[in-house]
Chains A and B, each alone.
Chain A
Amino acid sequence: MNAAEPARPRPAVVPGPKPAAPRLDVSPLAGRSGFRAAGEVSLRTRGIWERALERAVREGEDVYYLELSALTFVDVAGAGALAAAAGGLGGHRRLVLDRPPHALPRILDLLWPGLPGIEVRAS
């Protein structure tokens, strides 16, 4: 699953090769409940990220792992989707962020301080 779009002309005035469209690939983890996300969470890939998080909330596991070591970027809306998912868990359920990009816990601390339901594992 990814957000790759057919290549289209880009109006940017920068010279050089046209970069590929942003991707976000989401795959289930083996041996534990959760998913691995690779690529970036930005405007084009936000829908994929939100649907994956909605599934995580629906599955009802107490602990749900997000393996994020291959995630290169998450924007504020992507962090917001994560905060909303964590807020929808309730009780003692939690999302474990496994090796997220450095900026993600920072954005959560700055904009959703004290948010319950998210645990960060840096290694």
Chain B
Amino acid sequence: MTTTTEPVDPFVHPAFFYAGAREYLAGTVPFVRAALTAGEPVAVAVPGENLRLIKDELGADGATVRFLDMREAGRNPGRIIPGVLRAFADAQQPGRRVHIIGEPVWADRSPAEYPACAQHEALINAAFQGRAVTILCPYDTARLDERALADAHATHPVVIAEGSGTERPSAAYDPDTVVSRYNEPLPSAPGAGPGVLRLSFDEDSLSAVRHLATDHGARLGLTGLGLENLALITAELTTNSVVHGGGTGTLTVWPEDGYVLCEVRDEGRLADPLAGRRPATRDQRGGRGLLLVNLVADLVRTHTGPQGTTIRAYLPR
């Protein structure tokens, strides 16, 4: 897994296919140990059960490894780049390669979550272009469906086939197509009915709409931080519509399964697929609204095109 010469793009992003704990450890622990031997920083952000496997295997050697449960830190795929990967990579001293194991796709990701996962994996390539960073992404061939495994070949420039231990270029690598394919229309928000708040807004009504949204969120069972997050999400999405999205939009808030969903639709087009996924630099003034939405929501789904943009945020009830 270690390279002695830097490739043209120093960013390295392999998908590693495994089945079972033995293969998982055989593909991940040597990756961690090689980084530690080189004195280079390493983080492991994988689902809790796999985190325990790696931690147990490393024992005391893992003392300097940053461990994160991806089910928590990366619950919303849209915050993994800014909140997990860049947060770790950017905090390291320059001049040393940064190593991360990032496992954002697991078998019980919901149908609503999966498209955001695939887009996230595709966008990592643009987000880390030119950086001396290696991100190894494990994929569980025993439990993931065919689509997820095929997508991994399109979102990773190199792949490590199950049991092979060796990297080869992925012939199917095509991340832009994955971003486009999962830029799919969202299932329609309910138009009316009990529990549904649907409002059009413009600059004059931003404040009133935020208050109505939070009042509604409280009726749907949000409290404390959940309500605070709904107020922030509503404010940022509706203000974006007023400032960048044609001046007006429609807000819908409704309950679905264990979540309160907050959706804003406008006639603007979101041109930058990395919007809300880049950590802002300290001197940058604007452009952090979508980043905040990604950091506080459990899931953010987006559809953008010539007809407009829809952004839907999920808050746990």
Contact = CB atoms under 8 A, between A and B. Distances in A.
B210 A43 contact: no
A19 B210 CA distance: 11
Interface string A42-82: 11100000000000000000000000000001011100110
A115 interface: yes
A75 B282 CA distance: 17
B256 interface: no
Most buried by A among B208, B212, B231, B242: B208
Interface stretch (B3-11, B37-45, B284-292): B284-292
A10 interface: yes
Interface string A17-43: 011011000000000000000001011
A112 B200 CA distance: 32
B36 to A, nearest CB: 26
A88 B232 CA distance: 26
A80 B285 contact: yes
Contacts of A1: none
A11 B248 contact: yes
Contact of B232 (A5, A21, A103, A115): A103
B211 interface: yes
A77 B290 CA distance: 11
B206 A73 contact: no
B208 A19 contact: yes
B239 A42 contact: yes
Interface string B207-234: 1111110000000000000001001100
A21 B212 contact: no
A84 B210 CA distance: 25
13 contacts: A14-B199, A19-B207, A42-B207, A42-B210, A43-B203, A43-B206, A43-B243, A73-B231, A76-B292, A102-B228, A103-B228, A106-B228, A111-B288
Interface of B: 197-212, 228, 231-232, 235-236, 239, 242-243, 248, 280, 282-283, 285-286, 288-289, 291-292, 295-296
- Shortest 3 CB-CB distances between A and B: which pairs? A22-B207, A19-B208, A10-B205
Given A44-B207, A75-B235, A76-B289, 11 more contacts: A11-B201, A12-B200, A19-B211, A42-B206, A42-B235, A43-B242, A44-B206, A77-B289, A87-B283, A106-B228, A110-B296
